[in-house]
Structure 1
Amino acid sequence: MKVTAEKIEGSKVVLTIEAPASVVDEALDKAYKSVVKRVNVPGFRRGKAPRFILERHIGKDALYEEAMKEVLPEQYEKAVEETKIEPVSEPEFDEVNFKQGEPLKIKATVYVRPEVKLDDYEELSVPYEVQAVTDEDVDQQISFLRERMASLSPLPEDQALEKGDFATCHVRGIEGGAFKPEVDQELSYVEAGGQYGFVPGLTEALVGMKKGETKEFPATYPPAKEGGEPRTAMYSVEVKECYRKNTPSDEELVKNLGKENLDEVKEDIRKRLTAMREDLARRVHSQKVEEAVLTKGSVEIPHVMIERREEELLRRFAERLQEANTNLDAYLSSTGKTVEDLRKDIHEEAEKDVRRDLILDAIADKENVEVPEEAVNEVMEAFARQMGRDTDTIRTTLQMRGALDSIVSDLRRLEVLKKLAVKAAEKAGTPLPLEVKKTEEVEQVDKDTAQEAQPAEEAKGVAEDAAAQETQVAPPEKDENPLG
């Protein structure tokens, strides 16, 4: 077998393959033995027709096509192995000389993994910034806990609702405004003076009312047409029940949380907030390093790699739609978009993803980065838990599907990112904390199958985690975004 690989443009390679005539003869013989068992030839039992009779019955071209179906991919794979190229696309067989008694000659064009020219990635400098936990932050969490543990008690019938009280009421639209609202509804636990948005002006109208009272109030709506005047509609509200919120005292709060004193509660909250902010800061820092890496390498990306990534992004988007009880067709219909419009929307993201992976792979090659076996095992265990199967079965299944190599590649890129993050933080004079959560690798290795933690959920999760540990912590307010 003779093979040459010629780079013709960008990352396109032409493979010229020549194999002895015996390869053609063997392929035709194998194709004959396969086809003759599947075809009924008049006058012969199945599998017994001579080859020349079979060729006359189905046509010589059909037999040759059957032979080439197997021999072309087989010879191509051998050529790839011999030339050590890394294809990133399916081959196009431009020229094929497949004749009995003659050497097999093939010309195949394929896109290969492009070469990356690395820049001074060692000079990356990205500060690691953590938002300090203040006394005000802790007090805010204490206030949240009081609200979470508050109870409602009925107000005496002669006592009016004050701001912050709650009411069960009946609201209906009435005549008297620009239009009559089609509203006739019982509402539970509406906060007087609160921000309830079902009917404009309702919460303000409740302040000062008592149980059994009825009041009419106006509600202002935007203009029906652009440039028009705001519209006013009228409503009637009848108060059915009134409640007052009772928040626990310090002693009750401490007791409910199973702590010795309020200082212990505050210290526990401070620790949890600090851990949360450090974790978020690490994630944000990693994202910034990832963005910076994109500037540290130049590469001409074959369009097939970007298109493949677009397909992956579209598939995941369709899966998310299914999880939301809809589908891609319904989404396209409601938005007036086409699949091509979606491709245009995600093209930049797809190109960015491929560029990042190529640059990280090049750095990994240069730095001889290896993936620890423990990291692979952690991913297998995470998948096993998620799917309710044992790790050996998961590993075997992934290997059979060719997915294990992809997972290891993702882990290798994460190893590179971790090393770059450490160096970038040191370069900026803000070293990363020593402790690294083991779950971060598992959560990020394969965004398609492993559940990835979201920053907003992390913030919210502080309260939930604390509740499980008997001390609850609130998520930060909207103006306290740990992501900056």
Structure 2
Amino acid sequence: MKSAVETLSPTRAKLTVEVPFEELKPSLDAAYKRIAQQINVPGFRRGKVPPMVIDRQVGRAAVLDEAVNEVLPKKYVEALEANSLQPLAQPEIEVTRFEDNEALEFTAEVDVKPEIELPAYEGLEAEVEDIEVSDEDVEEQVNALRERFATLRDVERPAADGDFVVLDLVATKDGETVDGAEVSGMSYQVGRGGMIDGLDEALVGLSAGEEKVFTSELVGGDLVGQQVEVAVKVSQVQEQELPEYDDEFAQLASEFDTVEELSVDVRERLGRGKRLEQAAAARDAVLEALLEKVEIPLPESIVTDELNARRQNIEQQLAYAGITMEKYLEDEGQTIDEFEAELERRVRDAVAAQFILDEIAKKEELGIDQNELTQHMIRRAQQSGQDPQEFVNHMVEHNHIPDLVQEILRGKALATLVEAAVVKDASGNVVDLKNLRPDGSIGEPADETEAGEESADAASEDEAKDDAEKSAEA
């Protein structure tokens, strides 16, 4: 077999492959055998029909076509390996010349991984914000804990922001009740939001037994975007009473004896959480610093596919949260053009980061063992709320194991990159990332395997959150 490659662009190649007819002989013989099993010819047992009879009954051309269809994928893969090309998508294959007893010639155009000349990445410098836990942060967490033990007391006054009300609600369109837009006896906290636009404003000032009708726009269902009449009636107004923040509460809500001990623990836990946020910011900053030092050509088809996937994911998250894209953009203060530009920038950075991390993994000769792969799949299953064995079976059946292996290798490459960098906070202190534990505490130096696994998990989780998480929070 002969093959030649033509570089159409830094990310697209065209292979021209010539296969001598002799190399088609095994596929041709296999095609005759398959066809012999499929046809019935009087005087011959199934599977024992001679080739010359098959040629008369079915046609030599049909046999040749089947042989070519079998040999094309094999020769395509051989040509890729011979020319050291790494495909990124399915090829566009065209048979350009083929006659009986003559050589087969075909071309294959395909997006390929670009060649990247890695810049020096030891000692990259990056800066992140200081870790700061304010008294307001602690108070917010303490109040959230107190709310878990709060009680509700009926009050004889109009509802105010923060009160709980028991309400009946029904939305109508042209006098007809909207399907799924009727509730009765529901407890709702005024000001919480996330239900129907205008509800909080309507509830403020209503006393038990009073009702109000207002107009709102539906954000889901068959009538999404349409105006409806909403009638809400309050049957109870309840005031939330928080327990006193004293030693008795500390003993009730925690394992501590005093509020001082509880407050110290809250502050420490907040600090660990912020340290994890700082570590994530450090990874992003180091990777961004490296990306600024190299120009990576990106296959437009890969960028387009990733854009469409992320856009669809965002739309699903918004729909699940009951928010329209228009409402989301309004809350974010963005136009659709600004949103699309930001999304494309993120996608391009993400694709470029994958390419460069793959190169680092290759240069550093990083690898994984079966235990690492197993533990990674278990963690992925736990993160997605799936049964580990079902998750593993799905990954195997759908040939996703290579993708998981790549995730782990990229995580290790990112760990290598970050550990070789110098990261400081805004005050000039060096940030210890190498010994950061998953709970946000700083431990003893971890061995290389543990560090790689933790970084792989962190990188995987960051990709999973991305734009969809931002949208869900909105």
Same fold judged by TM-score > 0.5?
yes
1:83 is matched by which residue type in structure 2? N
Which has the larger Rg? 1
**Matched-pair contact (CA < 8 Å) for 1:118–1:296:** no
1:247 is matched by which residue type in structure 2? L
Whether 1:441 aligns to 2:445 is no
| Alignment match, 2:448 | none
2:252 is matched by which residue type in structure 1? N
Whether 1:58 aligns to 2:80 is no
**Matched-pair contact (CA < 8 Å) for 2:412–2:455:** no
Q: Residues 221, 118 of structure 1: CA spacing in aligned structure 2 closer, same or farther, 3 A cutoff?
A: same
1:117 Cα deviation after fit: 3.4
Deviations for 1:38-90, whole angstroms, at most 9, x for unmatched residues? 12346655434432332233232211101111122222222333333222233
| Alignment match, 1:470 | none
Q: Residues 237, 66 of structure 1: CA spacing in aligned structure 2 closer, same or farther, 3 A cutoff?
A: closer
Whether 1:410 aligns to 2:407 is yes
1:161 Cα deviation after fit: 6.9
Q: Residues 38, 316 of structure 1: CA spacing in aligned structure 2 closer, same or farther, 3 A cutoff?
A: farther
| Alignment match, 1:252 | 248
In 1: Cα distance, 2:203 partner to 2:318 partner? 36
1:134 is matched by which residue type in structure 2? S
Deviations for 1:96-135, whole angstroms, at most 9, x for unmatched residues? 5444444444444443321123445446322232432233
Structure 1 segment 209-248 matched on structure 2, within 5 A: 243=238, 245-248=240-243
Whether 1:360 aligns to 2:373 is no
**Matched-pair contact (CA < 8 Å) for 2:169–2:232:** yes
In 1: Cα distance, 2:23 partner to 2:182 partner? 83
**Matched-pair contact (CA < 8 Å) for 1:117–1:299:** no
- Which is worse superposed, 436-445 or 259-268? 436-445
1:186 Cα deviation after fit: 7.5
Q: Residues 204, 440 of structure 1: CA spacing in aligned structure 2 closer, same or farther, 3 A cutoff?
A: farther
In 1: Cα distance, 2:299 partner to 2:466 partner? 29
In 2: Cα distance, 1:161 partner to 1:384 partner? 48
> Normalized against structure 2, the TM-score is what?
0.67
1:35 Cα deviation after fit: 1.0
| Alignment match, 2:328 | none
What secondary structure does 2:127 align onto?
A: coil
Deviations for 1:318-360, whole angstroms, at most 9, x for unmatched residues? 87699789xxxxxxxxxxxxxxxx9999655543332221122
**Matched-pair contact (CA < 8 Å) for 2:124–2:421:** yes
| Alignment match, 1:297 | 294
1:262 Cα deviation after fit: 1.4
1:129 is matched by which residue type in structure 2? E
1:37 is matched by which residue type in structure 2? Q
| Alignment match, 2:137 | 137
Structure 1 segment 393-408 matched on structure 2, within 5 A: 394=392, 398=395, 401-408=398-405
Whether 1:38 aligns to 2:34 is no
Whether 1:431 aligns to 2:431 is yes
**Matched-pair contact (CA < 8 Å) for 1:91–1:110:** yes
Deviations for 1:191-237, whole angstroms, at most 9, x for unmatched residues? 79x7885263643465xxxx8xx7899x9989xxxxxxxxxx9x998
Deviations for 1:402-439, whole angstroms, at most 9, x for unmatched residues? 32222122222222222333444436743234223166
**Matched-pair contact (CA < 8 Å) for 1:16–1:107:** yes
In 1: Cα distance, 2:161 partner to 2:104 partner? 86
Deviations for 1:438-457, whole angstroms, at most 9, x for unmatched residues? 66633643789x78999889
**Matched-pair contact (CA < 8 Å) for 2:86–2:113:** yes
Q: Residues 47, 187 of structure 1: CA spacing in aligned structure 2 closer, same or farther, 3 A cutoff?
A: closer
**Matched-pair contact (CA < 8 Å) for 1:167–1:242:** yes
Deviations for 1:129-162, whole angstroms, at most 9, x for unmatched residues? 243223343234333333332223456xxx7679
Deviations for 1:355-389, whole angstroms, at most 9, x for unmatched residues? 22112222333344444765433212224655434
Whether 1:89 aligns to 2:89 is yes
| Alignment match, 1:124 | 124
1:11 Cα deviation after fit: 3.6
**Matched-pair contact (CA < 8 Å) for 2:168–2:186:** no
> Normalized against structure 1, the TM-score is what?
0.66
Structure 1 segment 457-468 matched on structure 2, within 5 A: none
- Which is worse superposed, 109-118 or 434-443? 434-443
1:7 Cα deviation after fit: 3.4
Structure 1 segment 255-294 matched on structure 2, within 5 A: 255-257=251-253, 258-294=255-291
1:20 Cα deviation after fit: 4.2
Structure 1 segment 346-385 matched on structure 2, within 5 A: 349-371=346-368, 375-383=372-380
Q: Residues 89, 410 of structure 1: CA spacing in aligned structure 2 closer, same or farther, 3 A cutoff?
A: same
Q: Residues 406, 11 of structure 1: CA spacing in aligned structure 2 closer, same or farther, 3 A cutoff?
A: same
Q: Residues 441, 11 of structure 1: CA spacing in aligned structure 2 closer, same or farther, 3 A cutoff?
A: closer
- Which is worse superposed, 438-447 or 361-370? 438-447
Q: Residues 137, 165 of structure 1: CA spacing in aligned structure 2 closer, same or farther, 3 A cutoff?
A: closer
Q: Residues 53, 410 of structure 1: CA spacing in aligned structure 2 closer, same or farther, 3 A cutoff?
A: same
1:34 Cα deviation after fit: 1.3
Q: Residues 221, 76 of structure 1: CA spacing in aligned structure 2 closer, same or farther, 3 A cutoff?
A: closer
User: How many pairs align?
Assistant: 409
Identify unmatched segments of 5+ residues in structure 1. Answer: 174-181, 223-232, 326-341, 461-477, 479-484
- Which is worse superposed, 71-80 or 435-444? 435-444
**Matched-pair contact (CA < 8 Å) for 1:172–1:236:** yes
Q: Residues 140, 319 of structure 1: CA spacing in aligned structure 2 closer, same or farther, 3 A cutoff?
A: closer
In 2: Cα distance, 1:190 partner to 1:110 partner? 56
- Which is worse superposed, 104-113 or 74-83? 104-113
1:200 is matched by which residue type in structure 2? E
1:253 Cα deviation after fit: 1.2
| Alignment match, 1:465 | none
1:25 is matched by which residue type in structure 2? K
**Matched-pair contact (CA < 8 Å) for 2:378–2:388:** no
What secondary structure does 2:128 align onto?
A: coil
Could you tell me the percent identity over the aligned residues?
A: 24
Q: Residues 345, 189 of structure 1: CA spacing in aligned structure 2 closer, same or farther, 3 A cutoff?
A: closer
- Which is worse superposed, 105-114 or 277-286? 105-114
